[in-house]
Amino acid sequence: MDFSLVYLTNRFFHRIFEFVGNWYIGGFYRASRGLMLILRGMDQTLAVRVTLLNFDKPLYGDYTTMGRVLGFIFRIFRLLFAFVLYGIFILLGVSAYLFWALLPLLMLLYAFR
């Protein structure tokens, strides 16, 4: 009888720690990988790295004064747009993960209320 109570207590705490590890640590890894996939997909379209590497070059090889000025202005707006979009998606991803992390606590509070 004594052995079964120790075993059940051990399994109870093991399941709690296993849940916490899977929910928080595993959930964080899945959420961060998903967010990185979204950001990589966005970078395929927005090409921030390429824009930064070619920042001093005019667009489409137009080396006139107007081409240099407009290329500089367009690249600045493209970078600003990309950084705003990245910021929005990062904030959405972080807020979704925080909701995910607080969900068990909210459910316990609601259950005991």
What residues does each domain of the chain span? Answer: 2-112
Nearest to 79 by CA among 106, 53, 113, 103: 53
Mean pLDDT of the chain: 91
Torsion of CA 25, 30, 32, 38, to 10 degrees: -170
Helix H or strand E encompassing 63: none
pLDDT interval class at 1 (50, 70, 90): low
| pTM listed for this prediction | 0.77
Rounded to whole angstroms, the Cα distance separating 70 from 29 reads 42
Give pLDDT, residue 10.
92
Q: How far is CA 40 from the centre of its chain?
A: 11
Mean pLDDT, to the nearest integer, of 34-52? 92
Mean pLDDT, to the nearest integer, of 90-109? 93
Rounded to whole angstroms, the Cα distance separating 9 from 113 reads 27
* Per-residue pLDDT tens digits for 58-85: 888 888 999 899 989 999 999 999 999 9
